[in-house]
Amino acid sequence: MTTVLICDDRRSVREGLTRVMSAVPGVHRIDCVAHGDELLARFSRQPVDVVLIGTQRAVPTGVEATRRLVAAHPQANVIVFGAPDDAGSIAAAIAGGARGYLRWDASRPELVAALAHTLASTAVPTPRTPTDPGVQLTERELQVLRGMSQGKSNGQIGRELYLSEDTVKTHARRLFRKLGVRDRAQAVAHGFRRGLVS
């Protein structure tokens, strides 16, 4: 039976995620805290199997809570959740020790898979896997991925690389296909896990 601790400063998010998680088979107990200090105190007092930490664009609290918890308790299994296009927050949380991430609108099967893989001490999988795990990105694709990891728009990346926005989108689609991901957030998270960006 799995125990889950949810950390987010928005009451509506905590309540909504609790409802969703309570329907996931095998979840035995769900507790909630609002802030990083509460999270550390609660986990220190009574560790849980999985910690879900919310992230918000341009709000560092979720990423900071992830870093603090993993620094104090390296064994903590952390999954961050947030907007699928918030690559910056997701990438920072992965770099801070989170095992993976979930979109706000993750389906029940995705939740089940994320919990199972996290408890098995493996990275949370992206919905698809690369057909060739040894595939290499071109230098241009790596440049685009690095720009994404810094939270830059396609237009900003294009201006820095002297490329049109359409050309950046083409490189992005190619690197998504090579990495076996669906969007920027998944690409950045995958890039951090594989050491393609730092």
Residues 71 and 164 grouped into a single domain: no
Q: What is the pLDDT of residues 18-77, one digit of tens each?
A: 888 887 777 889 999 999 999 999 999 999 999 999 888 777 788 899 999 999 998 898
CA distance 187 to 4: 27
Residues 6 and 86 grouped into a single domain: yes
Residues 22 and 106 grouped into a single domain: yes
Number of structural domains found in the chain = 2
Which pLDDT score, from 0 to 100, does residue 198 have? 58
Residues 78 and 156 grouped into a single domain: no
Residues 43 and 75 grouped into a single domain: yes
| Position 174 in a domain | yes
Q: What is the pLDDT of residues 122-142, one digit of tens each?
A: 444 443 333 344 568 888 988
Alpha helices in the chain, H assignment, sequence order: 11-22, 36-45, 61-72, 87-95, 108-119, 139-149, 154-161, 165-179, 184-193
Taking the model in full, what pTM does it have?
0.61
